[in-house]
Amino acid sequence: MISLDEAHKIFLNSHSSSEILKAHDIPIANIDKLNEKIRTSLEKSLNEVELTREDVLALTDISLDEVSLLMCVSNFLRDKYKGNLISFSKNFFIPLTQLCRDNCSYCTFKYEPGEGELLFSPEKVLEAAKKSTELGCTEMLFVSGDKPELVYDVYRKELNKMGYDSTSDYMIAMSEICLDEGIFPHSNLGIAKPEELKRFKESNPSMGLMLESISERLMDPGEAHYRCPDKYPRARIKTISDAGKLNIPWTSGILIGIGENWEERVDSIFELKRISDEFGHIQEIIIQNFSPKPGIKMEGSPVPTDLDMIKTVAIAKILMGKDVNIQVPPNLNAKTYTLHIFSGVNDLGGVSPLTIDYVNPESPWPQLDIMKKNIFEFGFTLRERLPVYPEYLDKRFLTDNIYNKALQFVDETGYVKES
């Protein structure tokens, strides 16, 4: 057993921890003034005693003056299981189609026919695969809008002309091209059927679908997911669970700042924990902060504060346990990703040396050498991983073909070989 007082002293005695608190104007908490309910939740978290929903909701009441205590707990757990290693993947980002049948209030990814290309052509995919391998990328990140073929005749006809019935069929075919070229696809299709997931597994070592939020309230008129049939939480939970039944390494997460309250945020993480505990396939959880952009319906909505992010990241680390990696996108947190490492983050996601983040085009990726320097200055080591984490480089999760290909890229640690 370790006491909260002891863990906080260890945290504060680290030069790097003290420096990060000072850099972000986070005061050192006075443990003697802490509410008893919060203290009990922190002590349980620190010693990995299972938390109730009430325990976790108590942690959401932590103020800025107290948050260094929460950080010391989540940092202790990150350090215990992940050490000083922070990972990332080097990817090429392909928006296979930016047409979408949903109408999310926070989206700038979607466009209508005539505003851009209907899809990323097979010729361009092949060219990208060749170029990305030349640049040393190991991940081809495929993203698409949700089922645009159901609402856009012009798009469906274009797919049919090429011999495909759906975006799913097309993404699978493009994944196969990339795997043949020596780069691993990581597909984010949206809602998928079990039979589609089975086919994806033949070419994708990992896949992803954000839960975003478990709140059905956000589907109501005026809310972020109104008129978004693919954002129904139950449908997303089913896809993530179906992937678990198929042992597909999975990336999921929540989107914060889209109108959800703290109870909904906590319930979303609890649901991801439930799925992870049942199937063991969720390799990482992304805590993605809403980023307002000109022209969207939520343009004037408040952004999550640093305190919101610290608490959400820390709660995710505490709840998801030792096996699940916690990530924040560094391009959406360019000034604070080192702060979030001290809140429980051990991964910085996909970083592209060439393409933009088409979902958040206003937020450029940090340069890798700068990111590595920043990480090193705070006492951490940055290592590149494949889209599938080292813990999932196993034939339980990967086909023989993908497993054998993956082994050619990694060293004995499971991370990408360093030159």
Q: What is the pLDDT of residues 42-95, one digit of tens each?
A: 999 999 999 999 999 999 999 999 999 999 999 999 999 999 999 999 999 899
For residue 335, the model assigns a pLDDT of 87
271 Rama sector, left if φ>0, alpha if ψ -120 to 50, beta otherwise: alpha
Mean pLDDT over residues 16-32, rounded? 94
For residue 353, the model assigns a pLDDT of 73
Mean pLDDT over residues 156-172, rounded? 97
Q: Which of 311, 304, 307, 299 is nearest to 332 (CA)?
A: 304
Task: Provide DSSP, 93-144.
Answer: EEEEE---S---TT-SS---TTSS-SS--HHHHHHHHHHHHHTT--EEEEEE
Task: Provide DSSP, 14-27.
Answer: SHHHHHHHHHTTPP
Is a pLDDT exceeding 70 seen at residue 356? no
pLDDT in tens, 370-402: 888 888 999 999 999 999 999 999 999 999 999
Sequence-separated (6 or more) residues with CB below 8 Å from residue 379 = 14, 16, 84
Q: Which two tokens stand for residue 77?
A: 């757990």
Q: Bridge-partner residues for 282, per DSSP?
A: 250
Determine what percent of the chain is predicted with pLDDT higher than 90.
Answer: 83
Instruction: Report d(CA 91, CA 251) in Å as an integer.
Output: 15
* Contact indicator for 104, 255 with CB cutoff of 8 Å: no
pLDDT in tens, 130-149: 999 988 899 999 999 999 99
In the chain, the N- to C-terminal Cα span, in Å, equals 42
Residue indicated by tokens 């947190």: 333
Lowest average pLDDT, out of 10-24, 146-160, 292-306, 356-370, goes to: 356-370
Q: Which two tokens stand for residue 258?
A: 């889209």
**Cα 172 to the chain's mean position, in Å?**
22
Is a pLDDT exceeding 60 seen at residue 364? no
Instruction: Report d(CA 315, CA 265) in Å as an integer.
Output: 10
Instruction: Report d(CA 142, CA 380) in Å as an integer.
Output: 30
Sequence-separated (6 or more) residues with CB below 8 Å from residue 229 = 101, 102, 146
Instruction: Report d(CA 214, CA 268) in Å as an integer.
Output: 5
Q: What is the 8-class DSSP label of residue 90?
A: E
For residue 107, the model assigns a pLDDT of 86
Q: Which of 143, 165, 151, 158 is nearest to 209 (CA)?
A: 143
Alpha helices in 281-409 (DSSP H): 306-320, 337-341, 368-377, 400-407
* Contact indicator for 243, 115 with CB cutoff of 8 Å: no
For residue 365, the model assigns a pLDDT of 42
Q: What is the 8-class DSSP label of residue 205?
A: S
For residue 355, the model assigns a pLDDT of 54
Mean pLDDT over residues 355-378, rounded? 65
Q: Which two tokens stand for residue 409?
A: 């890229």
pLDDT-based confidence at residue 354 (cuts at 50, 70, 90): low
pLDDT in tens, 241-265: 999 999 999 999 999 999 999 999 9
Is a pLDDT exceeding 50 seen at residue 218? yes
Output phi, psi for 416, to 5 deg.
-60, 135
**CA separation (Å) from 322 to 93, 267, 387?**
29, 19, 19
Instruction: Report d(CA 172, CA 190) in Å as an integer.
Output: 13
Higher pLDDT: 109 or 195? It is 195
Instruction: Report d(CA 359, CA 332) in Å as an integer.
Output: 11
**Cα 150 to the chain's mean position, in Å?**
27
Is a pLDDT exceeding 50 seen at residue 195? yes
For residue 208, the SS3 value is: strand
pLDDT in tens, 33-44: 999 999 999 999
Structural domains present in the chain? 4-82 (no CATH), 85-407 (3.20.20.70)
* Contact indicator for 384, 350 with CB cutoff of 8 Å: no
